[in-house]
Amino acid sequence: MPAVHAAAWRRWRRRRRSPPSTRSCPAVPSTVRPEVAALLRAGDPRARAVWDRAVDALAAAFATTTTLFAPDTVVVGGGLSEAGELLLAPLRDALAARLTYQRRPAVVRAALGDRAGCLGAGLAAWERAAGRPERISDPTRSSTL
């Protein structure tokens, strides 16, 4: 077994033995710990530097997505969404700074918070098990570029 596959296998085995509360679904612990938020609010320079890098990386990814697909809304889900405006306000500013001619999408928190991914995966599995196609096309949009 190649080293990469062996390491992935070991991580998977360790994760399977961990208690359910530490697994990603359905009990998803927030990736934005209250301690990090407290450090940011207190003005900790290291926490701010890490946070700013994360916001910049997200803004770069969202700018590319906006350029390619022109979404009206970008929805932030997962554990990061639990940070709320602590993340969303600087992310909106960083995204606006990166966009030039593109229409600026609204950047909002997922209504389902950190459970959005798990619920979406469950819905996709349910639909696939019911024999529905993997992708449901929108008849109002052209399928050609």
Which residues fall within 8 angstroms of residue 110, CB to CB, at 6 or more apart? 75, 76, 77, 78, 81, 116
Q: What is the pLDDT along the chain (145 residues), one digit of tens a residue?
A: 445 556 666 666 666 565 444 444 444 444 566 778 888 889 999 989 989 999 999 999 999 999 999 999 999 987 778 888 999 999 999 999 999 999 999 999 988 877 877 888 888 888 888 877 655 555 555 444 4
Which pLDDT value is given to residue 98? 96
Distance CA 92, CA 77 (A): 15
- Sketch out the chain's domains with CATH numbers: 30-128 (3.30.420.40)
Pick the closest to residue 83 from 25, 24, 30 (CA basis): 30
Helical pair 85-98 and 45-69, crossing angle rounded to 10 deg: 50
Question: What tokens does 54 get?
Answer: 């994360």
3-state secondary structure of 46: helix
